[in-house]
Each structure stands twice: as structure tokens, then as C-alpha cells.
A and B are shown apart, each in its own frame.
Chain A
Amino acid sequence: MTSTIVPPTGPADAGLSIPEMTTDEAARLRVTQARVIRSEWLKMRTLRSSWLTLSLAVASIAGVGIVIAWSTANDWNNMRPREKAHFNPLADPLAGFNLAQLAIGVLGVLLVAGEYSTGMIRASLGAVPKRLPVLWAKLGVFTTITLVTMLPTAVITFFISQRLLSSRHIQTTWSTPTVARTVIGIGLYLTVAAALGIALGAILRNVAGAIAALVGVLLVVPVVASALPQTWGDRINKWLPSNAGQALLSVSSDNTTLSPWRGFAVFCGYAVLALTAAAILLKRRDA
């Protein structure tokens, strides 16, 4: 959308009165990590793209969950036994996280690389020349937002979908083993995906490039790797970032997946690695 703006009627021509700052006010000026966090929170919530992408992530999880649970419940009596055996009342309605991880990752990319594409980064780093506080603030703000939005979304979607499935008595319950871990795991997995998006945005400093890298790492590499001969694939694939992270969401585990928490730790390890690279590059490169 483009909006035309009527030019302003010039600065007040009644002489120049440059606003004064009292010595008291001036004495309180200093950059702190808490202030940079406040600034980044303000930055994030004042961009339309943030709300759009975040809504998209919520809608993917909730939308997919409701549609799958509702259609399965409706169709249950017409479904073939093999289909019925294949249906997983926990994992299937939560499949929307696959889309959500892209939305979240892309928003992470935008929060950093978007500043490079517009030039805002020069203002940001000019105000905070130590630079790293900006990266940590973006990371802190965005992972927190992701966790507090995605975790409840996953939990609520779980309960709504089970409610829908209960009409056919095919639901599962919160107290069933692995259920709580899986549902909470979606919130945790997406939080790490958020961190990965931030890191890729900071490393590549280019929106398109960083999004491509994100899609590559999370979606394409596992698909390509699945074409490896099985003896290799079984040993390598489970260590790939998204496969490792999704071990936390897997209902059953065998030797082709890592154990849930071990896999999640590996996923976090990748994020830490990427963030370290991002921090070093942010400190070193010209803005």
C-alpha cells in the first residue's frame, strides 16, 4: 500500500528554539542492556510485518489443528482401517508447526536483515556502538514473544482438537505419556527457530538470502538427505538441525532419531553456533 503524504508546512518560523535538556536529564542518559531491550521491543511492535507474521504462525498451528481434527472426526466412519490406524490424535492436529516454524524464522530474519535493507541498522548501531547489546536485545525480545505466543497456541490447539476428536472417542489426553512433552516441545522448538532466524539475518544481512538459508536448513536439507542410502542416512539424518529439534516432538523414538531432549539440545547447539558467528561478524564488519 502506498500512501501519499502532504508535505509539512515547514518548521516553525518563529525563530529557532532548540529544546533544552536539563543537566539532570542529561546525567541520566546512558545506554543499558535493559534500555536497548525496551527499544527493540518498541521496534518490533511498531512494524506491521511483526504482527502479520506472528498471526500467520498462530493461524497455522490453530488452523491446521482445527481443520484436521474436525475433518477427521467428521469423516471417521468413512475412513478405511489403514487410514484409521495411521491417524495420530496427538501429532496430526499439531502438524501446523511446520508452517509456523517458517513464519517465525522469517520474522526473526526480518527483525535483523530488515534493518540492513532499509539502512536502519546504521541508526541502531550508531545509538549503541558496542553493537552486541542490540543483537542480544533482539534475541531476548523475539524468543520471549515466540515462547509466550506459540506455547499457549500449541496447548490451546491441543485441547480444542482433542475436544473435536472426542466426539468419535479417538482423542488422547494431556496425562498420556509423551503428550505434554510434545505439546510444550512445539513452543520450545519454535523458540529456537526464532533464534535461528535472528542469527541467519545477522550473518547474511540480506532478507532474501537469509530466508533462503532458513528454508534450506529447516526444510530442504532434511529432504535431500533422506535420499542418502539408508545405512548412511540413519546415521547422519538425525543430526540435522530440524530433525534433531523435532526429536522433541516425536511420539516414538528409534535408532533413526535422537532421544527427545538430546535432539533438542543438539538443535539448541546449532542455534548457539549460529548466534556466536552472528555476534563475531556483527562486531567485526563495517555497518
Chain B
Amino acid sequence: MIDARGLVKEYGAKLAVDDLSFQVQPGIVTGFLGPNGAGKSTTMRMIIGLDAPTNGTVTVNGKAYGAHTAPLHEVGALLEARSVHTGRSARNHLLALAATTGVGTRRVDQLLDLVGLTDVASKRVGGFSLGMGQRLGIAAALLGDPATLILDEPVNGLDPEGIVWIRNLLKALAREGRTVLVSSHLMSEMALTADHLIVIGRGRLIADVSVAEFTHRASSDLVHLRSPESERLRTLLVGPGVHVTSLSADRLEVLGMLSDRIGDIAAAHSIALHELVPQQASLEQAFMELTRDSLEYQSTTKAPS
């Protein structure tokens, strides 16, 4: 379990993480979401002690990361920035990290196999593609058989097959009872992988919810319908909390009433319905809605002059 309390990180005048508190539970995959510059990577670096918090504390299984006797057995981390010497081979890189903690050669080879790098294990890492580098990072994260995994945008650079593979890997790791924290920008990807979400923006906590709840919140009661008697139906539907807008001669948009109820009303008055489509705001839209106010780097569309 990861327990962050009142984390603050300032880089000079820049407030990267601002009074952030959350817990990451074992046994599930927790998605760590937020727009660019939200402070995800900074938070992850603080968890493993690479950056010292300006204020606040973060513990892993009850202790600061650095206070554990075998840190690699507590937390395995894949960082955003490449953390490997380009002049060394993949296998030697893993062997060097393994040696610090007494992890054996056999495990290094098993992990190379797991991530599919056995064939290039003796090649210099400098020649690796982005995806191969990610795979090596994942092998490094698993070296100490860690109880907690922290992965900063692990799908970055992976091909579709690799994305499915990592999704399954994360789920399998969580199923074994491990704590898994994985950051991403892609809400849709997280909806498929994660069970729980921690959403931050501008270094502050925005949401700490289960994926199910987030999905539920995201689906609004907006319905599109098409009917030859749209005007008659319209008068039947309007009421307190229900807004109806005409989209065209035979099309209506109904806000505030579920499609089941609309269908029932239409049937009761023998009004034919040609279409009745509940509109679900996409998770991506919901995510953007949630984080709109905390965008660090907002894109502006400018007409060419």
C-alpha cells in the first residue's frame, strides 16, 4: 500500500505537487491520471525517494521507501525518463541492478523472457526502440519481485500487441495481491485496465474514485430520438427537470429523462418511435470535463493570419 499525506513539491517557484494525499490499495490496479504537467511523474519520483518532498510524507507498506532493507523487493518502478545506460547490454543492465539486492541471474533471464527481450539481451541498449526500452524498464521493475509497482506511462511506445500484453500483466500482478499504480493520459485505456482512479490536476487531487463510479458519473441522461409525431411527444415529455430541444423536424434531444421512460410514454400514447438512442458522454469527455479547470498547458486554436 502507498500512503501519501500532504505531499508538496516545489521546483524553485514552480509548484509541481500541491498538498496531495491519497492511498493506493493492494490487489487492484489504480490508474493515476491527469493532464500534462499535472504532477504525476513528480509524485512517482517522490514515492521512491528520487525527489525529496518539500513538505509531507509518502510511505510504502508503512515505511519510507529508503528505510526498507530491500527496496527493490518493496517497490518496482518504471519511470517516465529513461533510466538506463545506453552503452550497456540489456542483460548486464538488469544484472547490475539485481546485484545490489542479491537477486539471482536466473531471475534476470526469466524476466528477459517474460518481456520478450531474450533475443536482444546482449545488445547495447542504445540501439533499442522506444518500446523495447519500455519492456526493459518493466523487467527492471519486476527484478525484486516487488509488492508494489509504480509504472509511469508504461504503454508509451508500445505496439498494440504490447499494450494488450501490459494490460494483462498489470491485472495479473494486481490479482497476485500486489499494489499497482499506473499513470496515463488515456482515460479509455485506464477504463480497460484500472479498477480505481486517482485524478490530479495542477498538482492537486481532483478525484479518487472507482472506475465503475467514474463511468457511471460520466454517462448522462441525454437521449436522442426520432419520431414522426415529434411535436406531440415533445409536449408529453417536458416537465420539471426535463428539457427537450428540437434538433430537426422529426428529431428531439431529451435531457433529464431515461430512455426507458420515454419509450413507455410514447407507447402509452401510441406514438411511433423510429429511433431512441441514449447518449453516453465518452470517458474521454468526462475526463476532460473533470480536468478542464486544471489544464497546465492548454492548446489554443488560432486562425492563421
Contacts and interface: CB of A to CB of B under 8 A. Distances in A.
Interface of A: 2-13, 16-21, 25-26, 28-32, 35-36, 38-39, 42-43, 46-49, 114-115, 118-130, 286-287
Q: Which 5 A-B pairs have the closest CB atoms?
A: A129-B66, A11-B116, A19-B110, A39-B99, A21-B145
Contacts of B116: 8-12
Contact of B127 (A2, A39, A126, A129): A2
A4 B127 contact: yes
16 contacts: A8-B119, A9-B119, A10-B161, A11-B114, A11-B116, A11-B165, A16-B168, A18-B173, A20-B145, A29-B70, A35-B99, A42-B92, A42-B96, A43-B88, A119-B81, A127-B71
A49 B115 CA distance: 28
Nearest to A38: B99
A16 B169 contact: yes
Contacts of B140: 123
A120 B85 contact: yes
Contact of A123 (B84, B101, B123, B135): B84
A21 B115 CA distance: 17
A30 B113 contact: no
Contacts of B165: 10-11, 13, 16
Contacts of A19: 107, 110-111, 114, 142
Given A31-B70, A287-B51, 20 more contacts: A3-B127, A5-B128, A6-B119, A8-B120, A11-B114, A12-B114, A19-B111, A19-B142, A26-B145, A28-B102, A32-B102, A35-B101, A43-B88, A46-B88, A46-B96, A114-B87, A120-B84, A122-B79, A129-B71, A286-B51
A48 B87 contact: yes
B145 A42 contact: no
Contacts of B101: 29-31, 35, 127
B99 A42 contact: yes
Nearest to B69: A30
B109 to A, nearest CB: 9
Interface of B: 45, 48-52, 65-66, 69-73, 77, 79, 81-89, 92-93, 95-97, 99-104, 107, 110-111, 113-120, 123-124, 127-129, 131-132, 135, 140, 142, 144-145, 161-162, 165, 168-169, 172-173, 176
Contact of B73 (A7, A26, A48, A286): A26
Contact of B85 (A3, A21, A114): A114
Given A5-B123, A127-B72, A47 B87 contact: yes
Nearest to A48: B87
A243 B168 CA distance: 63
Contacts of A4: 127
A185 B65 CA distance: 44
Contact of B102 (A29, A43, A120): A29
A30 to B, nearest CB: 4
Contacts of B89: 46
A123 B132 CA distance: 17
